[in-house]
Amino acid sequence: DAGVIQSPRHEVTEMGQEVTLRCKPISGHNSLFWYRQTMMRGLELLIYFNNNVPIDDSGMPEDRFSAKMPNASFSTLKIQPSEPRDSAVYFCASKTGLAGEETQYFGPGTRLLVL
């Protein structure tokens, strides 16, 4: 199994630009999570989907952030416009929908730097 795939792995952009992060979950997994990690705040949930439907987006910082999951094998996290304080590592994770199976598997992350 290829694991969770994220792209790009690194992104450097200028303030005000649009940034799109991409994630392909493990095949057969029906829950997908977007997290952001910074030194100050640690690993924080932004949003998660079950069966492509957003369930909890309370962690999305503000309207500049949006996430979509058009099908079971693809999700995007978009920041528009980007700001320097958005600089962080963004992780995507997925898990199965099997009862009692709560383990989440993380992708390699996207390291975002907004100048």
Partner 1 sequence: QKEVEQNSGPLSVPEGAIASLNCTYSDRVSQSFFWYRQYSGKSPELIMSIYSNGDKEDGRFTAQLNKASQYVSLLIRDSQPSDSATYLCASNQAGTALIFGKGTTLSVSS
With CB under 8 A as the rule, give the number of residues binding partner 1: 21
Q: Any contact of residue 53 with partner 1 (CB under 8 A)?
A: no
Nearer to partner 1, 74 or 106 (CB): 106
| Four-residue CA torsion sign, 93, 74, 86, 3 | positive
Give the footprint of partner 1 on residues 26-45 (CB under 8 A): 33, 35, 41-45
Instruction: Give 5's contacts (C-beta < 8 A, 6+ positions apart).
Output: 23, 24, 107
Least Å distance, CB 90 to partner 1, is 11
Q: Report yes or no: 23 and 34 within 8 Å, Cβ to Cβ.
A: yes
Q: Is residue 90 at the binding interface for partner 1, with CB under 8 A as the rule?
A: no
Find out whether 92 and 34 touch, Cβ atoms under 8 Å: yes
Q: How far apart are CA 24 and CA 105, in angstroms?
A: 12
Q: Is 102 in the site for partner 1 (CB under 8 A)?
A: yes
List residues binding partner 1 (CB under 8 A). Answer: 33, 35, 41-45, 48, 50, 56, 91, 99-100, 102-109
